[in-house]
Amino acid sequence: MSLISGGVNHHLADNRFVLMSKNRKTKKSETLKRFGDRLRTLRMAQNLTQEDVAAEAGFSRSYYTEIETGKRNISLLNIEKLAACLQVSLNELLDLNKEA
């Protein structure tokens, strides 16, 4: 059922909100996946294991794995720790369009 109040169709507005929310969620998960891929590329280029990087950053291996697989949205401070562990700048780590 559609309710019109003050010139706003609430039913349509609700559907648009759901679509916008799904689009944001998809973009967010795509970004997290791309970040994880970038992290993995940099780690593997240095012949480091997940355990190596996790230990150096002070993370558990399972937490680190969730970052690489795009399941965690980590803080900027933790991103900074990862950049230091991989001996790259924040800019280099966050260049999500770069392969290696």
Give the DSSP letter string of 26-71. HHHHHHHHHHHHHHHHHHHHTT--HHHHHHHHT--HHHHHHHHTT-
CB–CB of 47/86 below 8 Å?
Answer: no
Q: 27-72: per-residue pLDDT in tens?
A: 879 999 999 999 999 999 999 999 999 999 999 999 999 999 999 9
Supply 80's token pair. Answer: 């900074």
Least confident of 20-29, 76-85, 88-97: 20-29
- Domains of the chain plus CATH, in order, are 33-100 (1.10.260.40)
CB–CB of 64/97 below 8 Å?
Answer: no
- Average pLDDT estimate for 20-33: 76
Rg over CA atoms, the chain: 19
What per-residue confidence (pLDDT) applies to 43? 98
Q: Is the pLDDT of residue 14 over 90?
A: no
CB–CB of 84/59 below 8 Å?
Answer: no
What per-residue confidence (pLDDT) applies to 27? 80
